[in-house]
Structure 1
């Protein structure tokens, strides 16, 4: 049996779906790398909402997906941009997500880290207001028992006048943190409002400021997450980190080589693409745990084409593809997103995502995925 998929140029191609999924089994945490999946949220499809309404979340399905990730040994990076922070999920929704997920992690023994930002600020803010917003969120994450990830702040990017403003704000927060945090540098391809972060659009100058923050407080920085989609820059930053500070790659284009590393070091991982790749990525890291870097690359390298497709420009809409694949995989009963973001990608984009994911064996039930893909096609007027 074949399925007719649109090619994007007005034509169609016949695709024969895979019959068996990739064989992956749940397992214990990893030994060679610390690996987080930034997880998506499942919307409540029956809520009467508008794109401007507060997010309506299906909490049961959202937490079930986190248990799925934990069952494979992955950590969960919660309330990050993959969870649509600033793109449908406001601070009130994120706070509830953090509380619920942290409690769930505690009950199952899962690793969790949560995003700390300033998204309760809805207009222009002073540096003092930015600090206070960060402090409120940091306190909530620490009270929940989760590790904190200090996310890049749109409000700080707008309020800061110089690199020194970043040094002051981050220094203040790190002195307050009770446990070491992860610092997150999210590039403007993920969020255009973060252009010029760390006080400069020159990435070399911005890198120097970023490293100054870490060098001044190495005991308060567990690691950094770099999401710039430049492998060489991440490697350069990784080699300049103080002893004991980890690099968590956030590079959804080059993650296999960065995690595998070289003779001078390697990156851990905190990746949005590990939401749809969870079981396969976990299997690859377990192979790496045995010292088999070649086997690790043989498993993970073929996934890069799918990741580059999902994260193609405008990169910030990668969440749509992530949720689409979760629906096809049976992790949720519908393809609805908070903020109506399911409309952010085209039908040919979905078709190619389906084809690539199916080819990797990512769908536990390939027949279900095929049926759901055909249902989506029919909504667009495609008959099989």
Structure 2
């Protein structure tokens, strides 16, 4: 049975989150601590305190950590409400990369690792990073990983260069992907390591200037200079990093979509209000077909995106990996929501390219959404490959059945 009714408790929580973001968070959008490199740690701490006082901090956490542990579909409803402001997920502690890192650590971290590195992130006391992307290619294609880890039987020594590492400055929980070289002491291959951000050997070279500014402390260039870790620092199993990354990425792609759906819906509301009030040639501009059609296209796109997200989330809730489904949703939602934001700028006219409203900021940040967690083209490549694989298998099966019948 297909049921699109939102459960009463989820709808109630959505309303509470939306009210919190509107009343408590939105006033901070003009705070000078929201810099070109994103919110400062000081601003994040203040916002997290507000959410903690409201009883909403890290609402998506497992019940064992005091969270609500919503299903993926329920998350879609709640994260959309959180995303009404780009600072909403920061305050509620459900923003990237922390949200995805918490999900992964809860799945594969040992109990001692969880207590040291996961619990403080869930409680909002520290931030985390996922250090995978490299200047020379590793990112959408992690198979090009060049950061190396040498193991002598007693310790791993890691060297390499990463960039676009979100929130690196000041983060304490670090998940580092490195390629363990072949050695006589154990397995090799791409591996995740878990360590404190103050460990010697982690060098933050600089913060990159990027067009988006919604992630705490921006995106860093990080060099690992003889980062030395014990075997206990391995997260999960040696050689399994690419599998773990996929485990993290499918849900993380969808939570990105959920949050940006909220931001796009707010931009659409602002543009609609403007279209009602601004007049030209004797009537509100929304009554002119050119503007009205843009608003209609936005309304259609927002609902299409919402339903696509719910569908993929439902797939995950049934126990499927959701890799193909999340690629479909990430590809279409990122492109459609960017188009929504672009039309909102157009409806607002000159005000749309200024900071008089948050629409310009949403537009800039939405452009980056088309790239992170896999650019649209990479997802389309993966989707096409799956389509061809399934068709080839179907065709082979049809041929086999035809042969049997003969």
TM-score (structure 1 length as normaliser): 0.29
Bigger relative contact order, structure 1 or 2, given CA contacts below 8 A and separation 6+? 1
Which structure carries more helix by proportion? 2
TM-score (structure 2 length as normaliser): 0.28
Larger radius of gyration: 2
